[in-house]
Amino acid sequence: MSSTDASAVTDGHEFSQSPDSVHFGHGENGPSCRSKWSSVLTCWKHNYRPGEGFTLPKGDILIHAGDLTNQGTRAELQRALDWITKTDFAVKVVVAGNHDLSLDTDFTSTSKQHENAVPAAEDVEACAKLVKGCADIVYLQHSDGVIDLPGTSEKIRVFGSPCSPRGRGKQRWAFQYDEHEAEAIWKCVPEDVAILITHTPPAGYCDRSRHWEEGGCRALKAALSRIKPVLHVCGHCHEGRGALVLSWEKNATEIPRVAWTWEDASVASSKKQSLLDLSGKSGNPPGVVPGMETAVVNASIMAESFGRGKQKGFHKPIVIDISFARRGESGMDNT
């Protein structure tokens, strides 16, 4: 299986991918028999599990967009992976976030600030083994993988990254980069990606934050015009939870038009799920057109009341019904 090199080395900080693309899932021989898939999206879980403030509904694909833990300890990571492993999904895709300190070896080897928060070397090694040892979880660390769409013989490429802008805060967290590094980091994302999962949102899209005036990444926003994924899942800025659909003009360098913004009807109701139908089956909104439109979804679980000494609040996981069309044969391994 071929692999696109998604390694970015900037000023001594390396965000590396695994040597080979990951192939995961159990595709079925014969023609495709389904036209839409239910994806359950979550992020900013911060060491909380279903039943501790939120309920995890069923679906075909589970996507976790980072911050499995609060301080990156081995116990926190084990706890998170345990519940993900037990969930009933055909495909489970996970990326880390800035709170998952022990999964960023650069952070653990060079951090000078807040030394009490730096995981021990043995915990770093143990945590690396934990994520690599989960056979039914696709863990992407600035890398790509090919997954089988449940119920079909179709395959799509997914890229996942834990990276986020450093911002102006004094604290140092995992997988962070400075502004001058950003373009190189996102330049390596392959163009045949159907699902893009990044811990950080792109600037201006689902990136509202009480911590930063601009919560998202400008370079990632620029990269979207090249990649044009069908679905872009993010988190990090938990006040930015929500979704919108970008419509791409023929000239890829132009700023996309926000074609539709999601109003979550479940917020003011007693429903346990936030449902978003992007398959086009309901007619409103129309389905996302691959190559011409991108759905951006901030799937943050933690509500804005999260903080030291504050009561923990939770959003509902977002359940998306969405269709994927084959994005061409470039870079795909269809054997």
The CATH number of the structural domain formed by 24-322 is 3.60.21.10
The label of the residue with tokens 């979704």 reads 243
Q: Yes or no: say if 299 and 317 are a contact pair by the CB < 8 Å rule.
A: yes
How many other CB atoms sit within 10 Å of the CB of residue 335? 6
- Per-residue model confidence (pLDDT) at position 34: 46
- Per-residue model confidence (pLDDT) at position 30: 37
Per-residue pLDDT tens over the stretch 295-311? 999 988 766 544 554 55
Antiparallel, parallel or unpaired: β 231-234 and 193-198: parallel
- Work out the angle at residue 245's Cα, subtended by the Cα atoms of residues 183 and 150, and round it to the nearest 5 degrees: 90
The runs of H, that is alpha helices, within the chain are 74-86, 105-110, 121-132, 182-187, 218-227
Q: Yes or no: say if 221 and 203 are a contact pair by the CB < 8 Å rule.
A: yes
Q: What percent of the chain has pLDDT over 70?
A: 66
Per-residue pLDDT tens over the stretch 29-77? 333 444 566 676 565 454 455 555 556 777 889 999 998 988 788 999 9
Q: Which of 153-167, 188-202, 221-235, 276-290 bottoms out in mean pLDDT, i.e. has the lowest?
A: 276-290
- Per-residue model confidence (pLDDT) at position 228: 94
Per-residue pLDDT tens over the stretch 172-223? 888 999 999 999 999 999 999 999 999 999 988 877 766 666 678 999 999 9
**Dihedral (C-alpha) 101, 220, 206, 61: value to the nearest 10 degrees?**
-70
How many other CB atoms sit within 10 Å of the CB of residue 155? 20
Q: Amino acid identity of 67?
A: D
At 278, which helix (H) or strand (E)? strand 274-278
SS3 state at 8:
strand
Q: Yes or no: say if 144 and 159 are a contact pair by the CB < 8 Å rule.
A: yes
SS3 state at 116:
helix
